[in-house]
Amino acid sequence: MAKLKICGLTCKEDIEAVNGAKPDFAGFIIEVPGRRRSLTAERVKVLVKGLDKEILPVGVFVNAAPELPISLLRDGTLWAAQLHGDEDEDYIEKIQNMTGKPVIKAFSIKTPEDVQRALRSPADYILLDHGAGGTGEPFDWTLVPPVRRPFFLAGGIGPENLRSAIGTLHPWAVDLSSSLETDGRKDRAKIQQIARMLKQINTLEAYRKEREADLE
């Protein structure tokens, strides 16, 4: 059953839309200069207060001072920190040790070695993505061998490739942002559509697995 993360929420309307669709995770880009979805930590605190309690809030950071994710994890604003920059193992372990909360480390996948680096990461979860994050572009999925640890698949996923993404790579979770926008804003109808689609795909996959088990 692939989980769903909807990333790059920026306003109250986005919160209302995800509360209706109930993805597993909601992502907020926090204090990343020059990125259009970036919010201040104070704004994220306000938005998270309106988030359905069953949806886990994830903060996305790029080479932030570690004190920033640490404070938002410690005060309960965030369930997890997603690191989308050049954060090294010491940085990851510092956040894990100081908060006891999950760390998701994003990797830009351009070569098979990038995948191997990701697989060795001490992060609680890895996230395989195209590049800088939130670009709406997929990477070359053929670079990914069968993966034995839970991973998020990101980068240009949308209604046209969701089924093949899950059927081919079997991610623990899919992470979407750009494909759920119209004119640069999250689109409630697209969010509802993708949540419904994922439910159907998960139901079919579960049925197939049950049948395979019965036939063995």
Indicate the residue among 35 and 170 with the shorter CB distance to ligand LARABZUK: 35
Q: Are 55 and 17 in contact (CB under 8 A)?
A: no
Which residues form the interface with ligand LARABZUK (CB under 6 A)? 7-8, 27, 29, 32, 35, 37, 60, 62, 84, 129, 133-136, 154-157, 175-179
Q: How far apart are CA 81 and CA 46, in angstroms?
A: 17
Indicate the residue among 10 and 99 with the shorter CB distance to ligand LARABZUK: 10
Q: Copy the structure tokens of residue 148.
A: 């034995």
Active site residue 129: yes
- State the burial class of residue 155 (Cβ atoms within 10 Å of its Cβ: 0-12, 13-18, 19+): buried
Catalytic site residue from 75, 124, 129, 140: 129
Q: Are 206 and 184 in contact (CB under 8 A)?
A: no
Comparing every residue's Cβ against ligand LARABZUK, the nearest one is 134
Q: How far apart are CA 208 and CA 205, in angstroms?
A: 5
Indicate the residue among 178 and 193 with the shorter CB distance to ligand LARABZUK: 178
- Nearest approach in angstroms of CB 6 to ligand LARABZUK is 9
DSSP run (H or E) holding 15? helix 12-21
- Nearest approach in angstroms of CB 213 to ligand LARABZUK is 33
Q: Which active-site residues does the annotation give?
A: 7, 129
